[in-house]
Each structure stands twice: as C-alpha cells, then as structure tokens.
C-alpha cells in the first residue's frame, strides 16, 4: 500500500452547542483520489477547514506523512504541502492572472516589481496544468473553470502533495469538468493525494479510488470503490431508503386563483400570461436567465412591472411593494435565503413572525407569549429542528433555515405561494420534507408557483410545467406526461411550438 | 437504523473548551463584569468614591451622554451612524432658551427644543432612506449646518438666561435623585420598551441585520430609518434641554464631540457597528463605565491628560474582548 500522506485521527470539533465533528478519522494516500461525500452539514467542510489550518480541532490529531502537526493558520498548512481549492474562488478579479499567481510572493528587482519575471513564472505555472491562458488578462474575465485551473496551477507550483477540492464542478460546464478530471487523473498518477468533496454520485463514481461518507458529523464508513456500488453510498449518506422522494399525493385543482395577463418587467422579461388554480403546483422551468425569478418578483411587488396585470381570486393583484403582496395573501420564498430572507442574528421566533407581527400586536406592542405559542405551533408542524425557538437562525443547517422561511410564509396564511428554488442548498433529507410541506400546503387549496432549476424535482412535485425561454413561456407541459429531455428541448429552443 | 427525524440536537449544553466557556459567560454578563471590576477597583483606590452622593454625581454627569447614546443605539442597530447629535444638542438648547426668552412657558420651550431635534433627525433619515445617501455623509453635513444654525440663532455668542423657567430639569432633585438622572432612566425605559416589546423594535433589528430581507418580508425600511433618525434627533434635543438647564444659558458651541462620546458608549455596550446586534441595556452600562472612569480618576487625582490615555486604552480593551470572542467562536 502506498504512503499515507495525510491523516486525521479521532478529530472532534464543536461550535457552541452544535457538534460539527465527532471522533472522525480519515486519511489520503499518495496516488489516490479519495472522495468525501455526505449531506449538507455532515461535517465535510469542517474537516477540510481543520486540515487546511482554518480551524483547530477540539480533540484528535492531524498527521502529515506520519508526523503530528498542529496548524494555527492556513499558511502553515500550505507550507506542509496541503492545498485547498475552495468552492468560492480565492482570486482577486481586477488583478491579472500573473499578479494573482504571484500574490504574496511577488518577484522584485530592488524595490520595483519585476513584471517580466512575474509573467514568465506565470507561464511556467500555467504549463503545469496545460492551460493556454494569457497571463496579462484580468482574472475576473476568465470563466470559473479557467480560474479554477489557475488555482490548481498555483497549488502544484507550491509543491503541494495533498490537494483538497471542495465541490469543484459546481459552476463548471460539462467540457470544463472533463478537462478538470483529466488534470486530476494526471495529478493522481504523479503521486499526489487528492481529496474530492462532492454530492454528485456520477462524478464520485468516475473519479474516486475510495469513498468516505459523513453524516451528522460522524464517519459512516470508508469503502474501496471495488467493494461498493453507488446505491450503497447513497444509503450510507441518507441513513435510510428514500422512497417516493416527492411525496405527491392526490390533489385536486380547483378554481383559477392566480391569473397573469401579459405581465412584463425589464426588457427581455415577459410578456407572460398563465393561470394557477387552487391546490395546483405549477413550476417555472428553464435555463438560468430565462426570466423565471423576475416573473415571481414582479408578482410579489419586489420589482416594478412595465406592462400587464395579474389577479388573485378575481381581484386585481397590484402589489407595488412586498407589504401589499403579503397583505393580499401572496408569500415569497426568495432565491437566496441568506441574502434575501433570513435575519441570521435574530431568533427563530423573530424570523418566523417578522411579516405578521402586526397581527399579534396592539398599538405596536407585541403580545409576546401569543406570538411564541403561535410560531412554535408552525415550526413544530414543519418538524423544524432547532434546539429552541430562541436560538439564532445562523446556527441552523440549510434545510432548517429554509423551513424557517417556509414557516414565515405559512404564518401569513397565503392564498398564493411563490417559491423560488425552494430546495437549493439543502440536503436530501430536508428536501423530501420540504416536498411534503409543499404538497400539504397545496392540499389546503393555496395556489403554488415554483421556480426550480432541478428538473427531476420540477417533474416530481408539480402538476404543470411552464418552460421559459428568453423571458417568455415557450411551452406548457403536463408534469406527469413529459420528460426531462422534452423540457430541455423547449428550454434551449430545439423545440419551439406548443 | 436511526429514525430519519432523530438528528440529535444538544440543546444549550454547556460549551466544551475553556475559551468557549469563558465567552459563554461573557455573552451573558459581558460588559457588566467590567463595570463591576471597575467599581471594585475604584472603591479600593479612589477616596470617597463609594458613597451615595458620589454615585449620584456620576449618574448626573453621564445623563446627557447616556441620552444621546440611547438614540445612537437605534441608529447603530440599523448599521448607521449619527455624527450630528452634538450639534443638534447645541441648536436645540439655543432654541429652547430663545423660546423661553421670547416669553413662552416652560413646557412649550422644552417641546420646541425637542421638536427641533426630532425634525433635524427626520431630515437625516429622509436623506438616508429616500435619497439613499450614506449616513456618515448626511450626518456629517448635518453636524456642520446644525452648528451653524446654533451660532446663527444667538448671533454667535452665548445668551445667559439666569431665570430659565425649566432650569429644574437640569438642577433639581426628585426625592434624592437628580432630575436629569430620572429623565435618563425614563428615556432608557422607553427605548428598552420600543426595542424589546414593539413591532418597531423587531423591525429595527431586521433592517440592521438584512435590509433586503426586511423589504421582502414586508417591512417599510424607509419608514423605520426615518423614525430611527428622528428618535436619535429627539434624544439630542432632550439632551440639549438638560444642557441648557444646567448652564442656564444658550451655548452655541456646546456639545462639541458629544457624538463621539455617545458612539463610544454604544460600542462599549456591545452593539455591533455593522448593525443588527446590540442591547440598549449594554449602552447604559457603557455610559456608566465612562462616567465611573472619569469620576474615579479625578478622585484619584490623576491628571486630565493621563485620564485621556486611560480612557482610550479602556475603550480599546473592552471592544478587543468582544472581537477576540468572535474570533474564538469562529475557530
């Protein structure tokens, strides 16, 4: 067996009341790709941050080539040959490729920057990854895939022996992913140890020599690829069989609730016309930039429409501010919960009640007990798991945070729910619960309009799909009677009738 | 196999490491601990420090700053800043004295002063909320023009009013308590109530924590901001009334750099300049710490110049503890 390059032994780490990792052991050998997978919040990133010197472990030890080490900052880790490519790239967009590569170790002549040798060394580094990039270009103008290559080039040039990649393909196109994989194989064959963090089973299966699964901060197991199959790994991740993920039960659509007529926003968005019935789940699908988010924001009064109208239960829906939308029974779950929905420093109760406080107050004075009681009723019905309703929302997992936003909408008793990417960044367990919640709300007779980029999800939870392309509705499809391929054909313009 | 819903949660268990344990308690007693240590220190080393009369002296000396700091807390909770409160205090003081000299009865003179402060604050709030100008710039401008207004109102000179009708508000006692201290406690009670018990209070925290989320949650961010700056202005106006009542005159150059003292009290009290986090009780404790420090150092016969050095160091130390806390928590 080849040499163990990096080893974590019985590592534990906690943040306040949350146990992020408990007694986890993990290693990577020379010449292997070791995939690390698990649901969000399983502790993968925490372990990587410990390995790369961003966090220090509460218990346990880290060994590099058998030697115990204790990193107190990332530069010590990188001096020991450990490099990490984060999900968010660490580049400075305004600086050139060469400047980024030289960052922190700029070559100088006397006190003057030596640009020539900077560019020369950048070219040498880029050659290591076989990338043909002009080093004098600002790095921000390159694609994410290219920028990633540059970061890898830096890692290799710094003699890294262990490279950690955190969800590297999340923002890559298919062909960029291919190029990346080829490079990873080359690095593996040259004797480096690679840790590859990903949710994507196909990728893991293609790349990895070994797979380790984390769940709830604990190590579920490590398998040689030759000894396992993908279904085993999924089962290890979830800890249960996922039956009928989408939890769709018989729903009956009623009268038309939302009726949209020629609604348009900024140039390129709309006009669109469609209906959503009571108890119906309709999903806007399409490529990024097709105008789906813009349409729900127009309905919510978050942006101003340039033309068209909408009505809810026959009454005109004229929200020019979110407040008016809420008052007329429209609720929005925005695209990005952290930027657009949550108050991370406020409690669960405060976050859930914030839109409906006036219903619980007289002359602006809140009936605190009544609010707490009502809100905890809602959070319980969503099986929101928080240590208490008083803890700050920032300490919750992505899935529970999303439930906080859903709870806020439920508190509004909405007739129309607009859900923009309701399961983005939540793990599969929470996903299935969110689908169940959506199904339950639909059964109460609310109209539900979803935006989703996850096609299996869109097909699984909706009654109808509206495929958008270039700001307009390209097709209306029966969700139970179509395929992902058909949707993509309309979304990309291969097919253009209906 | 485990239940799918049985993700374990350790509710409020005591934290594990020593560092976390220290800061677990710091979060709960925090700045109060520093105040207690300071009181113990002063009792031991400053002659005549520990007496009821001296305690009242301290509270009276901080009352104006504490009132400004109460309004400033709201502003900083929304991630703003108000540099104009010192100048507003001066102008409000001048207006109330001039109203008195013009023959208006005390309640109207007082109301006039507070109203002028609130209006100045409302203008700040409108510019920040509607024109989307940075609070720093808006209130920097207001700091300058309000000072100019104060000088203009009195022709640049102090105006003495030895028979000032409302001088009791700065000088008298209610039972054994100085009136300004009672006013200060009243202001804190009102703002505590606003922040902890009203929808407005929730909205202040929400706007400070995440303005875009606040807007999408149906909160009128603009309304909240206009009210917050108006309240800060009204507090400055009230501070101006007490100031005028204590010096029995209109002093257009009064209240210089008071905004900095107010900001100091707020920050000492643990309110984050980034907004969304802080408590009004912390601000009161912050103001008291500043008062105890000044008073104790005087009683210890420390030279004024040395006092400045000590105060500056204490401010940095107190806030450093908070920063180190967040560093430890995030490691």
Condensed to tens digits (0 to 9), the pLDDT of residues A51-95 reads 888 888 889 999 999 889 888 888 888 888 998 888 777 788 888
Q: CA quadruple A86, A91, A97, A98: dihedral positive or negative?
A: negative
Kindly state the tokens that stand for A331: 């609720």
Contact (CB<8Å) A17/B10? yes
Which of A272, A264, A270, A261 is CA-nearest to residue A316? A261
SS3 A333: strand
A-contacting residues of B 100-159, CB under 8 Å?
Answer: none
Q: Rounded to a whole number, what is the distance in Å from the CA of B228 to chain A's nearest CA?
A: 15
pLDDT of residue A238: 67
pLDDT of residue B328: 66
Q: Which of B2, B16, B206 is closest, CB to CB, to A343?
A: B206
Task: Judge whether A265 is closer than 8 Å to chain B, CB to CB.
Answer: no
| Same-domain status, A280 and A150 | no
Kindly state the tokens that stand for A267: 């140039």
Q: How far apart are CA A195 and CA B23, in angstroms?
A: 35
Q: Give domain status of residue A497, yes or no.
A: no
All residues of chain B having their beta carbon less than 8 Å from the beta carbon of residue A327 are 218
> Cβ(B154)–Cβ(B94) under 8 Å?
yes
Helix (H) or strand (E) holding A209: none
pTM strictly above 0.80: no
ipTM: 0.86
The CA-atom distances, in angstroms, between A38 and each of A42, A88, A199, A243 are 6, 19, 7, 18
Contact (CB<8Å) B16/A58? yes
Kindly state the tokens that stand for A64: 């590099």
Which of B327, B55, B66 is CA-nearest to residue B186? B66
Kindly report, residue by residue over B4-22, the tens digit of the pLDDT.
Answer: 333 333 333 344 566 666 6
Contact (CB<8Å) A17/B331? no
Q: How far apart are CA A237 and CA A428, in angstroms?
A: 9
All residues of chain B having their beta carbon less than 8 Å from the beta carbon of residue A353 are 202
Kindly state the tokens that stand for A168: 């590297």
Q: Give domain status of residue B182, yes or no.
A: yes
Q: Which of the listed residues A188, A211, A238 is the one where a domain comes to its end?
A: A238
DSSP annotation of A96: B
| Same-domain status, A352 and A457 | yes
Q: Rounded to a whole number, what is the distance in Å from the CA of B274 to chain A's nearest CA?
A: 12
Mean pLDDT (whole number) for A183-209:
88
pLDDT of residue B326: 66
Kindly state the tokens that stand for A320: 């020019």
Mean pLDDT (whole number) for B35-45:
93
Find the domain containing A125 and state its range: 4-238
Judge whether residue A204 has pLDDT over 90: no
| Same-domain status, A178 and A262 | no
pLDDT of residue A231: 74
pLDDT of residue A382: 87
Nearest CA in chain A to B15: A16
| Same-domain status, A140 and A224 | yes
Q: Give domain status of residue B331, yes or no.
A: no
Higher-confidence residue of A204 and A241: namely A204
| Same-domain status, A204 and A286 | no
Alpha helices (H) along A169-275: 174-189, 201-207, 230-238
Q: Rounded to a whole number, what is the distance in Å from the CA of B114 to chain A's nearest CA?
A: 23
Q: Give domain status of residue B8, yes or no.
A: no
pLDDT of residue A497: 61
DSSP per residue, A256-304: EEEEEEEEE-STTS--EEEEEETT-EEEEEESTTSSHHHHHHHHHTSS-
Kindly report, residue by residue over A238-294, the tens digit of the pLDDT.
Answer: 665 555 677 666 777 889 999 999 999 988 887 999 999 999 999 999 877 788 999
Q: The domain that contains B187 carries what CATH number?
A: 1.10.3470
Higher-confidence residue of B204 and A13: namely B204
All residues of chain A having their beta carbon less than 8 Å from the beta carbon of residue B215 are 302, 322
Nearest CA in chain A to B220: A323
| Same-domain status, A290 and A227 | no
Nearest CA in chain A to B14: A17
Size of interface A-B (CB pairs under 8 A): 116
Contact (CB<8Å) A16/B329? yes
Q: Give domain status of residue B33, yes or no.
A: no
> Cβ(A276)–Cβ(A447) under 8 Å?
yes
| Contacts of residue B165, Cβ cutoff 8 Å, sequence gap at least 6 | B100, B105, B106, B109
pLDDT of residue B167: 92
Q: Give domain status of residue A247, yes or no.
A: no
Judge whether residue B29 has pLDDT over 90: no
pLDDT band at B191 (very low <50, low <70, confident <90, very high): very high
pLDDT band at A214 (very low <50, low <70, confident <90, very high): confident
Mean pLDDT (whole number) for A384-406:
86
Mean pLDDT (whole number) for B162-188:
94
Q: Rounded to a whole number, what is the distance in Å from the CA of A413 to chain B's nearest CA?
A: 14
Q: Give domain status of residue A181, yes or no.
A: yes
The answer to which of A3-17, A457-471, B26-40 has the lowest mean pLDDT is B26-40
Q: How far apart are CA A25 and CA B102, in angstroms?
A: 82
All residues of chain B having their beta carbon less than 8 Å from the beta carbon of residue A340 are 210, 212-213, 216
pLDDT of residue A422: 92
Strand partners, B249: B160
Task: Judge whether B171 is closer than 8 Å to chain A, CB to CB.
Answer: no
A-contacting residues of B 260-289, CB under 8 Å?
Answer: 276-277
Mean pLDDT (whole number) for A377-393:
85
pLDDT of residue B9: 37
pLDDT band at B258 (very low <50, low <70, confident <90, very high): very high
Q: Which of the listed residues A190, A207, A238 is the one where a domain comes to its end?
A: A238
Kindly state the tokens that stand for A322: 């979110």
Q: Give domain status of residue A286, yes or no.
A: yes
Nearest CA in chain B to A59: B17
pLDDT above 70: percentage of residues in chain A: 96
| Same-domain status, A228 and A353 | no
All residues of chain A having their beta carbon less than 8 Å from the beta carbon of residue B10 are 17-19, 387
Q: Give domain status of residue A446, yes or no.
A: yes
Q: The domain that contains A217 carries what CATH number?
A: 3.40.50.300
Q: Rounded to a whole number, what is the distance in Å from the CA of A31 to chain B's nearest CA?
A: 31
Q: Which residue has the tokens 């390995």?
A: A51
Q: Give domain status of residue B249, yes or no.
A: yes
SS3 A29: strand
Judge whether residue B64 has pLDDT over 60: yes
> Cβ(B87)–Cβ(B147) under 8 Å?
yes
Higher-confidence residue of B126 and A394: namely B126
Task: Judge whether B205 is closer than 8 Å to chain A, CB to CB.
Answer: yes
Kindly state the tokens that stand for B236: 């400055």
> Cβ(A284)–Cβ(A421) under 8 Å?
no
Task: Judge whether A247 is closer than 8 Å to chain B, CB to CB.
Answer: no
pLDDT of residue B99: 96
Judge whether residue B82 has pLDDT over 90: yes
Length of chain A counted residue by residue: 498
Pair type for strands B249-250 and B159-160: antiparallel
Mean pLDDT (whole number) for B234-263:
95
Q: Which of B4, B13, B215 is closest, CB to CB, to A322?
A: B215
Q: Give domain status of residue B296, yes or no.
A: yes
Q: How far apart are CA A349 and CA A407, in angstroms?
A: 10
Q: Give domain status of residue A89, yes or no.
A: yes
DSSP annotation of A469: E
Give the total number of structural domains in chain B: 1
Task: Judge whether B28 is closer than 8 Å to chain A, CB to CB.
Answer: no
Q: Which of B199, B213, B331 is closest, CB to CB, to A342?
A: B213
Judge whether residue B331 has pLDDT over 70: no
| Same-domain status, A144 and A285 | no
Q: How far apart are CA A415 and CA A423, in angstroms?
A: 21
pLDDT of residue A159: 83
Strand partners, B165: none
Judge whether residue B195 has pLDDT over 60: yes
Contact (CB<8Å) A17/B5? no
Contact (CB<8Å) B206/A346? yes
Q: How far apart are CA A217 and CA A393, in angstroms?
A: 19
| Same-domain status, A311 and A213 | no
pLDDT of residue B300: 92
Mean pLDDT (whole number) for B83-110:
96
pLDDT of residue B14: 43
| Same-domain status, A331 and A277 | yes
All residues of chain A having their beta carbon less than 8 Å from the beta carbon of residue B331 are 55-56
pLDDT band at A1 (very low <50, low <70, confident <90, very high): low
Find the domain containing B177 and state its range: 50-319
Q: Give domain status of residue A271, yes or no.
A: yes
Q: Which of the listed residues A210, A238, A266 is the one where a domain comes to its end?
A: A238
Task: Judge whether B17 is closer than 8 Å to chain A, CB to CB.
Answer: yes
Task: Judge whether B77 is closer than 8 Å to chain A, CB to CB.
Answer: no
Q: How far apart are CA A426 and CA B164, in angstroms?
A: 66
Q: Give φ, ψ of A344 to 5 degrees.
A: -65, -30
Contact (CB<8Å) A216/B8? yes
Question: Across all residues in chain A, what is the average pLDDT?
Answer: 86
Task: Judge whether A364 is closer than 8 Å to chain B, CB to CB.
Answer: yes
DSSP per residue, B20-51: HHHHHHHHHHTHHHHHHHHHHHHHHHSTT-SS
Judge whether residue B71 has pLDDT over 90: yes
pLDDT of residue B3: 33
Judge whether residue A230 has pLDDT over 90: no
Q: Give domain status of residue B230, yes or no.
A: yes
DSSP per residue, A371-392: HHHHHHHHHHHTT---S-TTSB
Question: Mutate which of A54, A299, A337, A366 to test chain B, going by most B C-beta atoms within 10 A?
Answer: A366
Question: Mutate which of B199, B219, B222 to test chain A, going by most A C-beta atoms within 10 A?
Answer: B199
Give the total number of structural domains in chain A: 2
Q: Give domain status of residue B113, yes or no.
A: yes
Q: Give domain status of residue A244, yes or no.
A: no
All residues of chain B having their beta carbon less than 8 Å from the beta carbon of residue A346 are 202, 205-206, 209, 276
Question: Across all residues in chain B, what is the average pLDDT?
Answer: 89
């Amino acid at each position: 067996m080849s040499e163990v390059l990096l080893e974590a032994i019985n590592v534990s780490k906690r943040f306040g009341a949350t146990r992020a990792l408990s007694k986890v052991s993990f290693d990577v050998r020379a010449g292997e790709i070791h995939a690390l997978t698990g649901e969000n919040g399983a502790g993968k990133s925490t372990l990587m941050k410990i390995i790369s010197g961003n966090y220090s472990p509460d218990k346990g030890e880290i060994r590099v080539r058998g030697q115990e080490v204790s990193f107190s900052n990332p530069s010590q880790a990188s001096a020991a040959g450990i490099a990490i490519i984060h999900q968010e790239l660490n580049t400075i967009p305004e600086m050139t490729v060469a400047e980024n590569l030289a960052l922190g170790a700029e070559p100088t002549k006397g006190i003057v920057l030596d640009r020539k040798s900077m560019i020369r060394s950048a070219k040498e580094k880029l050659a290591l990854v076989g990338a043909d990039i002009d080093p004098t270009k600002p790095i921000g103008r390159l694609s994410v895939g290219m920028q990633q290559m540059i970061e890898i080039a830096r890692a290799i040039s710094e003699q890294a022996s262990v490279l950690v990649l955190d969800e590297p393909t999340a923002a890559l196109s298919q062909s960029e992913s291919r190029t990346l994989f080829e490079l990873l194989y080359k690095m593996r064959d040259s004797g480096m140890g690679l840790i590859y963090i990903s949710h994507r089973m196909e990728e893991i299966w293609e790349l990895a020599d070994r797979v380790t699964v984390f769940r709830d901060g604990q190590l579920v197991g490590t398998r040689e690829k030759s000894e396992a199959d993908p279904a085993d790994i999924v089962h290890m991740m979830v800890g249960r069989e996922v039956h009928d993920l989408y939890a769709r039960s018989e729903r009956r659509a009623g009268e038309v609730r939302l009726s949209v007529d020629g609604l348009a926003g900024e140039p390129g968005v709309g006009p669109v016309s469609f209906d959503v019935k009571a108890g119906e789940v309709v999903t806007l699908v399409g490529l990024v930039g097709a105008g789906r988010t813009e349409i729900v924001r127009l309905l919510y009064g978050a942006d101003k429409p340039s033309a068209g109208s909408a009505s809810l239960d026959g009454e005109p829906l004229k929200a020019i501010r979110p407040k008016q939308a809420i008052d007329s029974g429209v609720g929005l779950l925005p695209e990005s919960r952290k930027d657009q929905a949550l108050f991370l420093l406020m409690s669960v109760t405060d976050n859930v009640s914030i839109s409906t406080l006036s219903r619980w107050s007289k002359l602006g004075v809140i009936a605190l007990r009544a609010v707490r009681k009502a809100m905890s009723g809602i959070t319980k019905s969503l099986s929101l798991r928080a240590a208490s309703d008083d803890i700050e929302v920032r300490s919750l997992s992505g899935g529970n945070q999303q439930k906080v936003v859903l709870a806020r909408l439920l508190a509004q008793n909405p007739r129309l729910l607009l859900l923009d990417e309701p399961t983005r960044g939540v793990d599969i367990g929470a996903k299935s619960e969110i689908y169940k919640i959506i199904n339950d709300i639909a059964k109460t007779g609310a109209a539900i309009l979803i935006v989703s980029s996850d096609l299996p999800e869109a097909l699984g939870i909706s009654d109808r799909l509206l495929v958008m392309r270039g700001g307009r509705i390209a097709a209306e499809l029966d969700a139970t009677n179509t395929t992902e391929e058909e949707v993509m054909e309309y979304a990309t313009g291969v097919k253009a009738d209906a | 196999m485990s239940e799918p819903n049985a993700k374990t949660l350790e509710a409020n268990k005591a934290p594990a490491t020593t560092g976390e344990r220290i800061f677990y308690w710091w979060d709960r007693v925090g700045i109060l601990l520093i105040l207690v240590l300071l009181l113990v220190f002063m009792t031991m080393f400053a002659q005549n420090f520990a007496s009821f009369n001296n305690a009242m002296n301290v509270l009276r000396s901080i009352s104006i700053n504490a009132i400004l700091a109460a309004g400033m807390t709201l502003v900083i909770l929304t991630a703003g800043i108000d540099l104009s409160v010192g100048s507003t205090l001066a102008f409000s003081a001048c207006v109330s004295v001039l109203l008195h000299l013009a023959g208006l009865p005390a309640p109207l003179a007082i109301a006039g002063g507070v109203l002028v402060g609130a209006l100045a604050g409302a203008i700040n709030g409108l510019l920040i909320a509607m024109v989307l100008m940075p609070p720093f710039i808006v209130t920097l401008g207001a700091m300058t023009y309000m000072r100019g207004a104060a000088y203009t109102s009195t022709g640049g000179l102090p105006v003495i009013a030895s028979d000032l009708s409302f001088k009791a508000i700065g000088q008298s006692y209610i039972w054994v308590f100085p009136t300004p201290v009672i006013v200060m406690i009243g202001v804190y009670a009102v703002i505590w109530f606003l922040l902890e018990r009203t929808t407005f209070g929730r909205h202040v925290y929400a706007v400070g924590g995440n303005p875009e989320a606040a807007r999408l949650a149906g909160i009128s961010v603009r309304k909240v901001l206009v009210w917050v700056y108006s309240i800060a202005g009204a507090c400055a106006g009230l501070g101006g009334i007490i100031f005028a009542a204590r010096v029995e005159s209109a002093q257009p150059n009064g209240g210089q750099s008071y905004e900095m003292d107010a900001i100091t009290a707020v920050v000492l009290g643990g309110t984050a300049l980034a907004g969304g986090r802080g408590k009004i009780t912390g601000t009161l404790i912050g103001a008291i710490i500043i008062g105890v420090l000044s008073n104790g150092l005087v009683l210890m016969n420390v030279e004024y110049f040395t006092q400045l050095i000590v105060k500056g160091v204490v401010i940095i130390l107190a806030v450093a503890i908070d920063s180190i806390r967040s560093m430890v928590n995030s490691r």
